[in-house]
């Protein structure tokens, strides 16, 4: 049955007052009071009604969706495997079989012998609407496998352990994890973190194999509700590294991996605004820290005096030092220069010897791949660009040469010579030049449709990488552009800081000014631009359609963080306390309250025309709760003055990432692109 009118959410008066300012929220009832359980009949009925409206409005697009899905799937090599990587006595790789949604994990002995299937995601996912593998870790002796699974999208994982050779499942089962799994104490113990009731990892715990989980030992507990705890091993596997951090401050403790109950060694007590991470070699700590320069330095310190840091690599305005990795005979630093990736090999005995790895294109995404061994003479790297499919490379450290081991295969065909990529810059309204990465066909007509993607939060850079799905727009005459707006750390830490807290609105105005620059350059026209973003990028979508609705021809907001003020006012929500350093604390700070209220997309919905909008949500999403997009759509329906499409799809059995499985997730991308093509009138 074709529906003729969209669902209208009832308005139920609700108001809250902070700092003497009252805000009304007539759709607050869409938050089930029993959350994270969602059982309220009225709430579920409304979400189902929105889903029915989505299905009705998209029904005529089903042929286009099917065609898009078919061509996207045809670009994926269905029977595929990764390049094997040596770790100890074994070579490890993953495989997809023909038609399979999920992977199989394999290994074979370096010395020769039969292949071993160590984990079968296909079998584990059978019969489940949702499946996601979390952590996976082989014991140091190669005998045991630990892994964790989430089967509803809530991001609460259950960890299990088995004997690889026989497949025997050990009785050990740890529910409620949200972390990696780290083998310690000669493979007799496993370190993990539990998610507490607020979905926060405030702990590092030790499980002794064969013992009940009720007797697990808490190695560390974090009292600051805004911090999260994570554990890992040092590169030489001698130390258990327990780190705790929020978005701008961190603290690290070291524990001997052989004796995880030994007293921990605190590297340096937390200082507000100082982030650092640590590794160790031959009694010397290597510390990557932003205490002396916002773009980080690399320092060293003796284990006997871990807080006494001596600079090894100075912080630099030009080189943003994003990370490092230690190996026995050399170490590698990674960073960005003018927004482009840089990988350097350096030497312990010769600080002046610096060997940058040269890559072939002017704009690309490159970095270290999986390098599990301590003593190596070759480095596994990843490489791609907006026109070059993803490649796996080996770099021979002695000869400084790159060998291509694998290039992403596109079965339906791909000719890179048909496409061109550019890195452009456009001035923001304050004069700052904003980089933009663009890819299009060489035969594209000027002024045609353009898709603009953005994120701009948490210091997350959007790399100019390759996408097979993107070709479905580009081959239909679109230019595809990535706006490297402030709020990400694409151009360094200052770039990130210029888009957070009191400068948050730079992110939104940068995106708008990039769009206007693309129009001025003749690449597209107002109203011919489709835009998309998810989570904090969905907040971006909400902000720019409030400020400049006429620029956009179609908008897709995935799990959008649009009810910013109400979420930041609710300390009981999973992420809120840890988010205050990013957005501000409106509970305690009136200026933060007023600033967030002034840009929060939900609070700023206006009575004006809006472009066509498609919104997605996940019922089990613990990051952006389902009621944020639901409330936003309800208020948009109430206030917008146009007849453009506004549709909401809530995945009733998934979370923040949408559907699981490599093909099921493609179906959602096909829906998104079908909506964009429909609204822009592109065949």
pLDDT of residue 683: 87
What SS3 state is found at 252?
strand
In this predicted structure, the answer to whether residue 63 has a pLDDT above a threshold of 80 is yes
For residue 661, pLDDT beyond 90: no
Residue 399 has pLDDT above 90, yes or no: yes
Over residues 126-143, mean pLDDT: 94
Helix (H) or strand (E) holding 230: strand 228-233
**Range of weakest confidence among 14-23, 135-144, 194-203, 273-282:** 194-203
Cα separation of 229 and 246, whole Å?
9
Segment 376-395 mean pLDDT: 98
Mean pLDDT of the chain: 96
Would the pLDDT of 668 be above 70? yes
Residue 74 banded pLDDT, cuts 50, 70, 90: very high
- Report the pLDDT averaged over residues 349-358: 95
Backbone angles phi, psi at 278, to 5 degrees: -140, 150
CB-based contacts of 631, cutoff 8 Å, min separation 6: 25, 27, 28, 30, 563, 602
> What is the chain's Cα-based Rg?
25
Which residues, in sequence order, are CB contacts of 326 under 8 Å at separation 6+?
Answer: 234, 235, 236, 279, 280, 281, 286
pLDDT at 460: 96
Q: Is the dihedral of CA 181, 183, 187, 191 positive or negative?
A: negative
Query: Could you tell me what percent of the chain has a pLDDT over 70?
Result: 99
Among residues 222, 232, 218, 304, the alpha carbon closest in space to that of 261 is found at: 218
pLDDT digits (tens, 9 = 90+) for 291-343: 999 999 999 999 999 999 999 999 999 999 999 999 999 999 999 999 999 99
Q: Is the pLDDT of residue 232 over 90?
A: yes
pLDDT of 3 reads 87
Q: Tokens representing 141?
A: 């002796």
For the record, the structure tokens of 265 come out as 């060694």
pLDDT at residue 390 is higher than 90? yes
pLDDT surpasses 90 at 578: no
Average pLDDT for residues 276-298, to the nearest whole number?
98
Residue 36: is its pLDDT beyond 90? no
Task: Give the per-residue pLDDT at 654.
Answer: 63
Active site residues: 535, 621, 656
Given this model, what pLDDT does residue 362 score? 84
Q: Which two tokens stand for residue 118?
A: 């160590």
Average pLDDT over residues 605-630: 94
pLDDT beyond 70 at 1: no
pLDDT band at 656 (very low <50, low <70, confident <90, very high): low
Q: Which 3-state string (H, E, C) describes 490-559?
A: CCCHHHHHCCCHHHCHHHHHHHHHHHHHHHHCCCCCCCCEEEEEECHHHHHHHHHHHHCHHHEEEEEEEC
User: What value does the mean pLDDT take over residues 15-37?
Assistant: 95
Question: Average of pLDDT values for 415-430?
Answer: 97
Residue 182 banded pLDDT, cuts 50, 70, 90: very high
Determine the 3-state secondary structure of 389 from DSSP: coil
Asked if the model's pLDDT at residue 655 lies above 60, the reply is no
Q: Does 660 have pLDDT greater than 70?
A: no
Quick one: pLDDT band at residue 657, thresholds 50, 70, 90? low
pLDDT digits (tens, 9 = 90+) for 78-110: 999 999 999 999 999 999 999 999 999 999 999
Q: Specify the length of the chain in residues.
A: 683
Percent of the chain with pLDDT over 90: 92
Q: What is the pLDDT of residues 511-563, one digit of tens each?
A: 999 999 999 999 999 999 999 999 999 999 999 999 999 999 999 999 999 99
Instruction: Provide the pLDDT for residue 665.
Output: 86
Q: Which two tokens stand for residue 440?
A: 């299009």
Average pLDDT over residues 180-194: 98
Q: How confident is the model at residue 574 (pLDDT cuts 50, 70, 90)?
A: confident
Tokens of 73: 């799937």
Query: Which pLDDT does position 659 carry in this prediction?
Result: 61
């Amino acid at each position: 049955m074709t529906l003729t009118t969209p669902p209208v959410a009832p308005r139920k008066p609700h108001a809250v007052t902070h700092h003497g300012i009252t805000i009304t929220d007539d759709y607050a009832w869409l938050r089930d009071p029993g959350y994270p359980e969602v059982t309220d009949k009225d709430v579920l009925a409304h979400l189902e009604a929105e889903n029915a409206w989505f299905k009705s409005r998209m029904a005529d697009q089903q042929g286009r969706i099917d065609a898009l899905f078919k061509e996207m799937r045809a670009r994926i090599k269905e029977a595929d495997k990764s390049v094997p990587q040596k770790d100890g006595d074994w070579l490890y790789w993953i495989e997809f079989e023909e038609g399979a949604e999920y992977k199989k994990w394999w290994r074979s002995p370096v010395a020769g012998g039969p292949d071993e299937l160590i984990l079968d995601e296909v079998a584990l996912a059978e019969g489940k609407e949702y499946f996601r593998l979390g952590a996976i870790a082989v014991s140091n002796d190669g005998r045991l496998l630990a892994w964790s699974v989430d089967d509803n999208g809530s991001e609460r994982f259950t960890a299990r352990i088995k004997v690889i050779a026989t497949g025997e499942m050990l009785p050990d089962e740890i529910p409620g994890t949200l972390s990696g799994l780290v083998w310690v104490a000669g493979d007799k113990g496993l370190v993990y973190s539990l998610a507490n009731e607020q979905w926060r990892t405030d702990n590092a715990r030790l499980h002794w194999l064969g013992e009940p989980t009720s007797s697990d030992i808490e190695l560390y507990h974090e009292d600051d509700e805004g911090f999260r705890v994570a554990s890992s091993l040092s590169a030489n596997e001698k130390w258990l590294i327990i780190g705790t951090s929020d978005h701008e401050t961190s603290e690290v403790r070291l524990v001997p991996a052989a004796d995880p109950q030994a007293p921990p060694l605190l590297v340096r007590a937390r200082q507000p605004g100082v982030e650092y991470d640590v590794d160790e070699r031959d009694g010397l700590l290597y510390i990557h820290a932003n205490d002396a320069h916002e773009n980080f330095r690399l320092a060293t310190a003796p284990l006997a005096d871990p807080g006494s840091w001596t600079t090894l690599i100075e912080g630099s305005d030009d080189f943003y030092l994003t990370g490092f990795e230690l190996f026995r005979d050399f170490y590698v630093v990674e960073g960005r220069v003018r927004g482009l990736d840089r990988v350097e090999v350096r030497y312990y005995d010769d600080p002046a010897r610096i060997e940058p790895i040269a890559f072939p294109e002017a704009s690309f995404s490159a970095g270290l791949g999986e390098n599990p061994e301590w003593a190596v003479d070759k480095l596994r790297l990843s490489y791609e660009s907006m026109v070059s499919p993803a490649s796996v490379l080996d770099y021979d450290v002695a000869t400084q040469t790159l060998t291509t081991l694998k290039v992403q295969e596109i079965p339906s065909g791909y000719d890179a010579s048909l496409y061109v990529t550019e890195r452009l810059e456009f001035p923001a309204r304050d004069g700052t030049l904003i980089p933009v990465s663009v890819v299009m066909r060489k035969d594209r007509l000027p002024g045609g449709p353009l898709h603009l993607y953005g994120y701009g939060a948490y210091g997350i850079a959007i790399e100019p990488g390759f996408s097979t799905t993107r070709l479905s727009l580009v081959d239909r005459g679109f230019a595809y552009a990535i706006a490297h707006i402030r709020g990400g750390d694409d151009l360094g830490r200052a770039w990130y800081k210029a888009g957070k807290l009191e400068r948050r609105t730079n992110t939104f105005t940068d995106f708008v000014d990039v769009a206007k620059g693309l129009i001025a350059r003749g690449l597209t026209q107002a109203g011919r631009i489709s835009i998309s973003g998810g989570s904090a990028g969905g907040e971006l979508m909400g902000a720019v359609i409030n400020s400049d609705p006429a620029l956009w021809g179609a908008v897709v907001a995935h799990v959008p963080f649009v009810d910013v003020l109400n979420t930041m006012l609710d300390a009981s929500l999973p992420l809120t306390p840890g988010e205050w350093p990013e957005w501000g604390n409106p509970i305690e700070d009136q200026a933060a309250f007023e600033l967030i209220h002034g840009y929060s997309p939900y609070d700023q919905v206006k009575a004006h025309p809006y472009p066509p909008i498609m919104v997605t949500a996940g019922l089990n999403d613990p990051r952006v709760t389902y009621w944020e997009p639901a409330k936003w759509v309800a208020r948009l329906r109430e206030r917008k003055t146009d007849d453009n499409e506004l549709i909401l799809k809530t995945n009733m059995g998934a979370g923040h990432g949408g559907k699981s499985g490599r093909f099921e997730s493609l179906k959602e991308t096909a829906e998104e692109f079908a909506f964009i093509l429909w609204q822009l009138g592109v065949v």
